[in-house]
Amino acid sequence: MSSPLRIALAGLGTVGTGVIQLIEENSALIARRSGRAIEIVAVTARDRSKNRGVDLSPYRWVDDMGELATASDIDVVVELVGGSDGPALTLARETLSNGRALVTANKAMIAHHGAELAALAESKSAALKFEAAVAGGIPVIQGLRDGAAANRIDRVYGILNGTCNFILSTMEKEGLDFTDVLSDAQAKGFAEADPGFDIDGIDAAHKLSILASLSFGSQIDFGGVEARGIRKILAADIAQAKALGYRIRLIGLAEIDGENGSAEIFQRVQPCLVPLTHPLAHVIGATNAVVAEGNFSGRLLFQGAGAGDRPTASAVVADLVDIARKETGPAFSMPSSKLEKLPRAASAHRVGKTYVRMIVADRVGVLAEITAAMRDAGLSIESLIQTETSDDGSALIAMVTHAGPELAIDDTLETLSTSDSLMGEPMVMHILEE
């Protein structure tokens, strides 16, 4: 058997400790599959004395993370610190500049700096791998980069944030509002260090921009992702969506509009109503699912655990196995210099069905006022529910429109914005097409 692949772990939180446990538990199997052992040589984190439930004594503790990039007995640095910039990025740059391989779970860093890091890795013939960065334990990067490599893909979408999916499915099951469930997701290790990244759709936007690049052969454009989160979703929205035949899920969707030559890229993360007949409606808990439509493969569905210590460690160590086997290739689906820069598609012309929820003063003529504003904007209603009047004299109206331009919803809400019938801001969510 060849000499062991010697690795260093930077970051010993949820994912880092999961990686140690996996390498310890499956070491013999991994060595047989890789043709060589994977050996942890050095580790670093903020707090050496913290009890992590794993024995760190066999490994060299390093206080200065930068040492990992230059130590002569380390082949691969595994970055599990997090953050788009700061120490994670410094470590990544130094590791690759020294011609060492880098494995990372850090989608924020790849979304912001993936192009630069991929070019650096190529210039130094060093491996750069980030399977854990998108959809945790699901081998979707490898699936798109390798398995679907022969296809043209014009659309990729899915449930990309385990925390939000856990929150939404728990809200549905327990009838709770989202703040009541967030702390559970944090306790399970799903959430980012700043959970605002999860619930405001930023984490899913990081992942979507990476998926779009892999799928379309385009340069990552994180700045081009419109992102909306789940903060404003009420338990009542989930109940009304269910009554109308849908489940609410945070969906990231990227697609190519137009043909070769005039192709534009559209990228958006937003809570959507997903028809119960769609497979994504049945994805619950911290599970993720990604759908990619290949022109020869047809619809591909990748589903599995999107967060948590063990699934994420599985993806990190799969990257290490690839490196141990010397299965090198470009970090993305093609060398970084071949990735196309695509213009952003405007969302103004998009057409679809929309859910609108309003809390209104329950008095004569309110419904007529709303439907008149919709008629003037050219929108018609497919279904509508009005709840009983509350003690404060308000009622909830939830409706799904027929397919129409998104701009018509904006026009309707603009007309109604001066109405004193509306109590608070309406909630608008698009319906995911089947």
Ligand X SMILES: N[C@@H](CC=O)C(=O)O
Check the annotation: does 16 bind a ligand. Answer: yes
Question: Which of 226, 236, 228, 136 has its CA nearest to residue 178?
Answer: 236
Check the annotation: does 12 bind a ligand. Answer: yes
Stretch of 79-87, 191-199, 380-388, 405-413 contacting ligand X, by CB under 6 A: 191-199
Check the annotation: does 111 bind a ligand. Answer: no
**Residue 255 binds to ligand X (criterion: CB under 6 A):** no
Sole binder of ligand X in the list 82, 285, 294, 306 (CB under 6 A) = 306
Check the annotation: does 229 bind a ligand. Answer: no
Q: Which does 87 bind (CB under 5 to 8 A by kind): ligand NAI, Na ion, ligand X, none?
A: ligand NAI
Length of the chain: 434
Residue 363 CA neighbour count, 13 Å, CB half = 8
Contact 128, 117 (CB under 8 A): yes
Q: Which does 405 bind (CB under 5 to 8 A by kind): ligand X, ligand NAI, Na ion, none?
A: none
Residue 361: CB atoms within 10 A of its CB come to 15
Characterize 395-426 residue by residue with b for buried, 16 or more Cβ atoms within 10 angstroms of its Cβ, and e for exposed: bbbbbbbeebbeebbebbbebbeeeebbeeeb
Place of tokens 């903060």: 231
Of 300-329, which residues contact Na ion (CB under 5 A)? 315
What's the Cα-to-Cα distance from 240 to each of 63, 112, 398, rounded to whole Å?
A: 53, 37, 7
Sole binder of ligand NAI in the list 20, 204, 307, 429 (CB under 6 A) = 307
Residue 192: CB minimum distance to ligand NAI, A: 6
Check the annotation: does 14 bind a ligand. Answer: yes
Residue 198: CB minimum distance to ligand X, A: 5
Using the minimum distance from each CB to Na ion, give the nearer residue, 11 or 136. 136
Question: Which of 84, 91, 99, 6 has its CA nearest to residue 45?
Answer: 91
**Residue 65 binds to ligand NAI (criterion: CB under 6 A):** yes
- Burial (CB count within 10 angstroms: exposed 0-12, middle 13-18, buried 19+), residue 174: exposed
Q: Which does 131 bind (CB under 5 to 8 A by kind): ligand X, ligand NAI, Na ion, none?
A: Na ion
3-state secondary structure 114-182: HHHHHHHHHHCCCCEECHHHCCCCCCHHHHHHHHCCCCCEEEEEEECCHHHHHHHHHHHHHCCCCHHHH
- The reply to whether 207 belongs to the active site is yes
Residue 158: CB minimum distance to Na ion, A: 12
Sole binder of ligand X in the list 289, 307, 416, 428 (CB under 6 A) = 307
Characterize 175-207 residue by residue with b for buried, 16 or more Cβ atoms within 10 angstroms of its Cβ, and e for exposed: eeebeebbeebeebbbbbeebebbbbbbbbbbb
**Residue 191 binds to ligand X (criterion: CB under 6 A):** yes
Stretch of 21-29, 190-198, 244-252, 374-382 contacting ligand X, by CB under 6 A: 190-198
**Residue 178 binds to ligand X (criterion: CB under 6 A):** no
Contact 357, 237 (CB under 8 A): yes
Residue 73: CB minimum distance to ligand NAI, A: 20
Of 186-225, which residues contact ligand NAI (CB under 6 A)? 189-190, 192-193
Question: Which of 159, 164, 355, 166 has its CA nearest to residue 242?
Answer: 355
Question: Which candidate in 207, 232, 242, 353 is catalytic?
Answer: 207
Sole binder of ligand X in the list 17, 95, 106, 163 (CB under 6 A) = 163
Contact 34, 5 (CB under 8 A): yes
**Residue 132 binds to ligand NAI (criterion: CB under 6 A):** yes
Binding mask 87-126 for Na ion (x = CB under 5 A): ----------------------------------------
**Residue 412 binds to ligand X (criterion: CB under 6 A):** no
Measured in Å, how far apart are the chain's first and last C-alpha atoms? 50
**Residue 165 binds to ligand NAI (criterion: CB under 6 A):** no
Residues with Cβ within 8 Å of 391's Cβ and at least 6 positions away in sequence, in order, are none
How many degrees, rounded to 5, is the angle at CA 308 between CA 305 and CA 314?
70
Using the minimum distance from each CB to ligand X, give the nearer residue, 79 or 362. 79
Contact 317, 38 (CB under 8 A): yes
Interacting residues toward Na ion by CB under 5 A? 131, 135, 138, 315
The binding site for NADPH consists of: 107
- As annotated, the active-site residues are 207
The binding site for L-homoserine consists of: 192
Interacting residues toward ligand NAI by CB under 6 A? 11-16, 44-47, 65, 80-82, 87, 105-107, 132, 136, 189-190, 192-193, 307-308, 312
Interacting residues toward ligand X by CB under 6 A? 136, 161-163, 190-192, 198, 203, 306-307
